[in-house]
Structures are given as structure tokens and as C-alpha cells.
Amino acid sequence: MRTRFAPSPTGLLHLGHAFSALTVWQVAADLGGTALLRIEDTDSTRCRAEYETAIYEDLGWLGLDWPAPVWRQSEHLADYAATLERLALRGLLYPCSCSRKQIAEAGATPGWDGLVYPGTCRQRPMSEARPGDALRLNLSAALEAAGPLPAFTETGPLHAGTHRPDPAALIAHVGDPVLRRKETGDPAYHLACPQDDAAQGITHVVRGADLWHATFLHVVIQTLMGWPVPTYHHHDLIRDEGGARLAKIAHSRAIRAYREDGLTPDDLRARVGF
């Protein structure tokens, strides 16, 4: 059993991250497995070295440890580019130059996670890709190429059971995801995350319930690429000692702010219900 905690170094870790990390290590301990740390530093405009250093310090202070070397996504860019190349050769990608504003103005409808891309650029061939274009996955074509989708097992408290992604629901509520971001050309989360879960041999993905719907898309990508589908465990929002949901403001306060207030690691664990 192998799981991972995969923060993005775009800011200081807050109480919500502490809860998530403690859950990851708890699930690993319960199942006699290993928790890995993965640094999801693909967003070249927002990731900073000092936040990465702070992740190591804050998790270490909480009493968590992980095997070396840490997997840093910025060291695997050629692998994500190779996957994009394979998807392009299969005719499943297209270049997209739409801005957020253009997408909204084209009548995009709200989906599970933001607006569903209305398909404005879907007919553009890859041969016409311009520098700075995003690359999107043609979801209908990808679903067809993937064939029947497998069911996955969810062990988290909110959705425990088995779930099979429904192609029609994915088309209606997710749409064509960006796999390479516009302007920077950075690989997108929906590409790098499932790719690394496969590359690192992750058997259980433990993460926040905010990513529940992303899992349906990740299963499509895993099936399309022939990668294994791990077991999932989406945890609820953090609760305080009494079991009440922590207010958003407390949830987003930095771990080090509590450290500076003089809290011990045990105090902080208790604060998030551990």
C-alpha cells in the first residue's frame, strides 16, 4: 500500500493541509503502507522555492516523515510532454486559445468544477497550434478511445463504495480539460497528477473532498493511458476538537502562524481533530 501527500508550493501550508497530511499518514499507518511526499510544482508562475522549503519544515515539525528522494514534478517535465505527444498522435488533443472571458461569452454552462468548455476550438488541428496555445483533451473522443470505464473503490467517509464514471455526465459536467496550460506551456494538474500516481506506484490516493469530481476524469485518463486505477479516499473538511466544521478563516491560517503563537505539534494535531 502506498499513498502520497501532494501539495503545491504556491503558499504556506495551512490548517487544511495539516489535516490532509495527517489523514494521509494515518491511512498509510492503518493499512501498513507508506506515505510519500510529492511536490506538485508545475505552475511556473506561482510556485516558489521558499514555499517548498516551508513544506518540508512544517511537515517535519508535525512529526511526519517520508522516504527520500521527494518526487518533484518540475523534474519530470519530459515525461508529461511525452504523454501529450502520445495523446496528440492518437488525435485526442487540440490547441485552444480561448480566454476565460471568451469561454464565458460563448455561453459556457457551470459544471462540477467551473465552467464547462463549450468546444469553440475543438475542430482546430494540432498542426495549427500556435505558441502559447493551451492543449485540451477532446473528451468525447477520449471516452471512445478509452472504451468501457472501470469502477473504482472509494473508502472515504462521504462517498464510500464503488463508482463507475458515467461518460454522459463527464461530457455534461466536466467537458474538455486543459492538459497543457496556455502561455507557460506548463503541464496541467489533470495530466501530471494521474501520470505520477501511476509512475510512483500509488495504490491509494488520499485527498480532500474538493477533488472528488476530478477523480472521474482521472479514471478516464488512467484508462486511456493504460495506467492502473488506484483506490481513492476523499476526506471531509477539517473539524475542531468538538467535531464542528472549522470556519474557512481558521482552515486557511498558516501552520507556522500557530507555531509562532506557541502551539506544539500535539496542540495542532488536536486542533484538527487528531
Residues lying near ligand GLU in the complex (CB under 6 A) are found at 6-8, 40, 193, 207, 211
CA distance 137 to 21: 31
Residue 124: CB atoms within 10 Å: 16
Distance of alpha carbon 28 from alpha carbon 10, whole angstroms: 26
Cβ closest to ligand GLU, residue 204 vs residue 207 = 207
**Range list of β-strands (E), 77-201:** 93-96, 110-111, 114-115, 134-137, 152-154, 161-163, 178-180
Question: Distance (Å, rounded) from C-alpha 108 to C-alpha 103?
Answer: 6
Distance of closest approach, residue 127 Cβ to ligand GLU, in angstroms: 33
Q: How far is the CB of 111 from ligand GLU (least distance, A)?
A: 18
Nearer CB in complex with ligand GLU: 67/91: 67
Smallest distance from ligand GLU to CB 205, Å: 6
Give whichever of 193 and 217 is closer to ligand GLU, judged by the CB atom.
Answer: 193
Instruction: With CA atoms as reference, report the closest residue to 150 among 136, 137, 138, 167.
Output: 167
Q: Which is nearer to ligand GLU, 121 or 191 (CB)?
A: 191
The distance of closest approach from Cβ of residue 247 to ligand GLU in the complex, given in angstroms and rounded to an integer, is 20
In whole angstroms, how close is the CB of 133 to ligand GLU at the nearest point?
A: 24
Q: What is the DSSP letter of 129?
A: -
The nearer residue to ligand GLU, 98 or 193, going by C-beta atoms, is: 193
Measured CA to CA, the distance from residue 53 to residue 12 in angstroms comes to: 10
Q: Is the dihedral of CA 190, 192, 196, 198 positive or negative?
A: positive
Q: Which C-beta is closer to ligand GLU: that of 51 or that of 117?
A: 51
Label residue 155 left, alpha or beta by phi (over 0 means left) and psi (-120 to 50 means alpha). Answer: alpha
Q: Is the dihedral of CA 234, 221, 84, 82 positive or negative?
A: positive
What is the nearest approach in angstroms of ligand GLU to the Cβ of residue 211? 6
Return the number of the residue (11 or 185) whose C-beta is nearest ligand GLU.
11
